[in-house]
A and B are shown apart, each in its own frame.
Chain A
Amino acid sequence: MTTMLELRRVSKVHGAGAAEVHALREVDLSVHQGELVAVMGPSGAGKSTLLTIAGSLEEPTSGEVLVAGAALSTMSRHARARLRRRTIGYVFQDFNLLAGLTAVENVALPLELDGLGAKDARAAGLAVLERLGLADRADRHPDELSGGERQRVAIARALVGERKLLLADEPSGALDSVNGEAVMRLLRAACRSGVAGVVVTHDSRLASWADRVVFIRDGRMVDQTVAPAGPESLLEPGQKA
């Protein structure tokens, strides 16, 4: 089993002296290829910090982060930027689509920024949109899409190319429960196709789509779920006639 993300004793301290805030305290976390992990905790527990550090958007105060086996601390700034464009996909609560671009242009953008020709980038973008059932929305602008469709476009953008790690911050926070479920289904399906995923959320219903739920409190990992038993365990023994 390939480990796509590994956090080794990662700590993050904001501020100094009396204003010192420990956002993360010696967090260990491994996420494997094909696995979807949910990180659950209340506001201020350190969930978003964990995600930005895992995505190399922020550096830890101490500890080591490895993405697809490579330690971020040993990489040049240039190499880290390339990793963010090619290997890591981000999904945000408020979608973060560019209003002036169509759905497919939004999806193709990371590939174009990485130097791929416009035609090839568009073809790759269309392929992902089709996989997510959005082929007929490819040439619409974000304001012509429903909230659920916008988030699916954002997921397509996070998956386009050869992504290995998908990071999502409250990805269905702005959606109703059925659309939120559709988003989690897509993230789960993406992981089944070989990506490793981390979703941070305070919502237990969304977290329950994950293979493993990790609980975070005051910057510490305090607990995690064990691999769920099969659904048959929901039927109490002896109930069935």
Chain B
Amino acid sequence: MSIRHALLALLSEGPSYGLRLRQEFESRTGDLWPLNIGQVYTTLQRLERDGLVESDDTDRDGPQKLFRITATGTEELTGWLRAPDGAAPPRDELVIKVLVSLRVPGVDVSEVIQAHRRHLVEMMQRYTRLKAHGGEDAERDVGLALVVDAELFRLEGVVRWLDAAEIRLREPAPPATPAPATPAPAAPASGAGGRTARRQGARR
């Protein structure tokens, strides 16, 4: 999340003070992303240094300082809104854990997958509860629903990856090369258990 651009976006609605910017940011994200006030002032100082915002009194710091967005700041903001985010897949820790589970003797990868799936679904239950309990403030609720949805869809994506991983690991591996002319002796049973069972069998 770019606090820098979130602050520029709030300032694009009109000049504001650091404290008020923090309150606005928190309320519009349904209070799910708390901001440290120090973080707000540091970011504002950097924005001012880069010419993206300006203030009335450059000598005075603190709550009395009123900030407004500059033309360069507006240009930066509109460019950022449309810029696509990173293309390379991140090195996801969960992906690595599942990959490692396949190699560690005595570890049942299905159990590892289920432990993470349960944890993710419990997280999703907590986020959904926030939506279900939606309060009185309609504008805040839309912000909350959007932030919660973003997190729910992200978590759902991870659960779906785990589901797909589990199915893939249970299916017998497709033959990579044409079958050899002479059948291999004592071929492992296919079907239930699939690849996981064969791997466990190989360790015995």
Question: Which residue numbers of A lie inside 8 Å of B, CB to CB?
Answer: 40, 42, 181, 185, 188, 202-205, 207-210, 213, 215, 217, 222-226, 228-231, 233-235, 239-241
Q: Number of residues in B with C-beta < 8 Å to the partner?
A: 35
Determine the chain B residues whose CB is within 8 A of the CB of A222 once the complex forms. Answer: 114
Determine the chain A residues whose CB is within 8 A of the CB of B114 once the complex forms. Answer: 215, 222-223
Beyond A231-B133, A234-B123: 13 further Cβ-contacts under 8 Å? A181-B131, A185-B132, A204-B124, A204-B159, A207-B121, A209-B128, A209-B132, A215-B118, A225-B122, A231-B126, A235-B32, A235-B34, A241-B35
**B121 with A226: CB separation less than 8 A:** no
A208 vs B114: C-alpha distance when bound (angstroms): 16
Could you tell me which residues of chain B, from 98 to 118, have a CB within 8 Å of some CB in chain A?
110, 114, 117-118
Contact of A234 among B32, B121, B159 (CB under 8 A): B32
When C-beta atoms are compared, the residue in chain A nearest to B124 turns out to be: A208
A175 vs B57: C-alpha distance when bound (angstroms): 55
Question: Which residue numbers of B lie inside 8 Å of A, CB to CB?
Answer: 22, 32, 34-39, 110, 114, 117-118, 120-133, 152-153, 155-156, 159-160, 163, 166-167
**B121 with A231: CB separation less than 8 A:** no
A237 CB to closest chain B CB (Å) equals 11
When C-beta atoms are compared, the residue in chain B nearest to A209 turns out to be: B128
Listed from nearest, the 10 A-B pairs whose CB atoms lie closest are A208-B124, A241-B36, A240-B34, A208-B128, A204-B159, A228-B125, A231-B130, A208-B125, A225-B122, A205-B156
Contact of A204 among B120, B126, B166 (CB under 8 A): B120
Using A204-B159, A209-B132, A225-B118 as known contacts, say yes or no to A233 and B126 having CB atoms under 8 A apart: yes
A225 vs B126: C-alpha distance when bound (angstroms): 11
A208 vs B126: C-alpha distance when bound (angstroms): 8
**A241 with B118: CB separation less than 8 A:** no
A226 vs B118: C-alpha distance when bound (angstroms): 9
Determine the chain A residues whose CB is within 8 A of the CB of B129 once the complex forms. Answer: 228, 230-231
Determine the chain B residues whose CB is within 8 A of the CB of A185 once the complex forms. Answer: 132
A234 vs B160: C-alpha distance when bound (angstroms): 22
Contact of A205 among B39, B153, B163 (CB under 8 A): B153
**A213 with B34: CB separation less than 8 A:** no
A38 CB to closest chain B CB (Å) equals 9
**B126 with A241: CB separation less than 8 A:** no
**A40 with B167: CB separation less than 8 A:** no
A188 vs B159: C-alpha distance when bound (angstroms): 22
Contact of A241 among B34, B110, B152 (CB under 8 A): B34
When C-beta atoms are compared, the residue in chain B nearest to A225 turns out to be: B122
Determine the chain B residues whose CB is within 8 A of the CB of A210 once the complex forms. Answer: 125
Determine the chain B residues whose CB is within 8 A of the CB of A188 once the complex forms. Answer: 132
Using A204-B155, A223-B118, A241-B36 as known contacts, say yes or no to A42 and B167 having CB atoms under 8 A apart: yes
Determine the chain B residues whose CB is within 8 A of the CB of A202 once the complex forms. Answer: 163
Determine the chain A residues whose CB is within 8 A of the CB of B122 once the complex forms. Answer: 213, 225-226, 228
A203 vs B160: C-alpha distance when bound (angstroms): 9
- Of the A-B pairs whose beta carbons lie under 8 Å apart in the complex, a sample of 30, sorted by A's number, is A42-B163, A42-B166, A42-B167, A181-B131, A202-B163, A204-B159, A205-B124, A205-B128, A205-B153, A205-B156, A207-B124, A208-B124, A208-B127, A213-B118, A213-B122, A215-B118, A217-B110, A223-B118, A225-B121, A225-B125, A226-B122, A228-B126, A231-B129, A231-B133, A234-B123, A234-B130, A239-B34, A240-B34, A241-B35, A241-B39
Determine the chain B residues whose CB is within 8 A of the CB of A239 once the complex forms. Answer: 34, 36
A176 vs B119: C-alpha distance when bound (angstroms): 26
Determine the chain A residues whose CB is within 8 A of the CB of B32 once the complex forms. Answer: 234-235
A234 vs B166: C-alpha distance when bound (angstroms): 28
A217 vs B155: C-alpha distance when bound (angstroms): 21
Determine the chain B residues whose CB is within 8 A of the CB of A207 once the complex forms. Answer: 121, 124
A215 vs B120: C-alpha distance when bound (angstroms): 13
